[in-house]
Amino acid sequence: MVCPFVPRSVRGVTFALLSPVIMLACESPGLPFEELEPLDPETLPPVVRSFAFTQGLNPLRAYEELLSEPARGVLFFSLAWGPPLDCPSGCYYESAFGIAQEERVGWISFTPYGLSDPLTAGGVFDIAATDEYLVDPNLLIRLRAVDGGLYGNYRLLLSCDADVPEATLRHIADTIAVDGWPLLARALLEHPAVLTSVEILRVLTALQGMQYSSVRTRAQEVLDAIDQGLAPPPIDPAGLPVCAASDSA
């Protein structure tokens, strides 16, 4: 008897690293494991198929359409590729969340297994100043209901893009008290619009818990600088910038 495998996304927005890990779980331990067969690229939407080819993802293993709005030309998706890892105890694959807006396609996040790195190789989706729908807080609310990992990573992508407006960043800041994630709060403190927004900075200074101690301190320092008409103090050189690898602005 062979254990049936079903691709699934690991969900949850409180993980330090959020990613659409495509895994194969067996309901009956000890039974033989099977790998996912390579996916026929022709089954993918043309814009995703072309992007996967340019990114050198081989072989493709799984594709999932997470949110599609044809009238707006918007598609959120996940892809898995490469050789199976950690078999036979439980096969999983390199994977990533992506977004397509008409003919523009790019990554939102990927799993850091070290076999390939599509983000450092280029291909992060670049939010444009004209992308009004992609920065609409109502879209974030929809994504939260679709997939926790996608929602968390998309919030981080927006927080690291200089073209995202203050109103969207304020919404993201408000979500932290509910959904958590100190890394996201730190990313906001690197955004130029946040460094001049008293409203957002006050939201960040009000975050509760020891995990936000450094965030509260940094936000208060920036508020004090604004009150004194000074430039924001530099980020502690001992702390690594959150957006260094993912900023597409």
pLDDT digits (tens, 9 = 90+) for 19-36: 444 333 333 333 334 578
Q: Which tokens hold the place of 208?
A: 């509760």
User: What pLDDT is stored for residue 117 in this prediction?
Assistant: 55
180 and 117 inside one domain: no
Residue type at position 87:
C
- Average pLDDT for 196-207: 97
Q: Which tokens hold the place of 75?
A: 């598609």
Higher pLDDT, 96 or 121: 96
User: What pLDDT is stored for residue 238 in this prediction?
Assistant: 56
Q: Which of 157, 172, 200 is the last residue of a domain?
A: 157
Q: Which of 157, 174, 191 is the last residue of a domain?
A: 157
- Average pLDDT for 210-237: 90
Three-state SS annotation for 14-78: CCCCCCCCEECCCCCCCCCCCCCCCCCHHHCCHHHHHHHHHCCCCCEEEEEEEEEEHHHCEEEEE
147 and 171 inside one domain: no
60 and 129 inside one domain: yes
142 and 168 inside one domain: no
219 and 194 inside one domain: yes
- Average pLDDT for 92-103: 89
User: What pLDDT is stored for residue 25 in this prediction?
Assistant: 33
User: What pLDDT is stored for residue 237 in this prediction?
Assistant: 56
What is the distance between the alpha carbons of residues 48 and 105, in angstroms, rounded to a whole number?
A: 7
120 and 190 inside one domain: no
Residue 214 belongs to domain spanning: 160-249
Q: In sequence order, which residues have a C-beta less than 8 Å from that of residue 149 and are 6 or more positions away?
A: 9, 10, 11, 12, 13, 15, 18, 19, 20, 97, 109
207 and 128 inside one domain: no
What is the distance between the alpha carbons of residues 115 and 92, in angstroms, rounded to a whole number?
A: 13
- Average pLDDT for 152-158: 94
Judge whether residue 14 has pLDDT over 70. no
139 and 18 inside one domain: yes
150 and 167 inside one domain: no
103 and 226 inside one domain: no
Higher pLDDT, 225 or 88: 225
88 and 180 inside one domain: no
Q: Which of 116, 131, 157 is the last residue of a domain?
A: 157
Name, of 53-62, 109-118, 211-220, the range with top average pLDDT: 211-220
Q: In this predicted model, what pLDDT tens digit does every residue of 132-147 receive, in sequence order?
A: 999 999 999 999 999 9
What is the distance between the alpha carbons of residues 182 and 233, in angstroms, rounded to a whole number?
A: 20
Q: In this predicted model, what pLDDT tens digit does every residue of 36-76 receive, in sequence order?
A: 888 999 999 999 999 999 888 889 999 999 999 999 999 99
The phi, psi pair for 152, rounded to 5°, reads: -65, -45
Q: How many domains does the chain have?
A: 2
38 and 144 inside one domain: yes
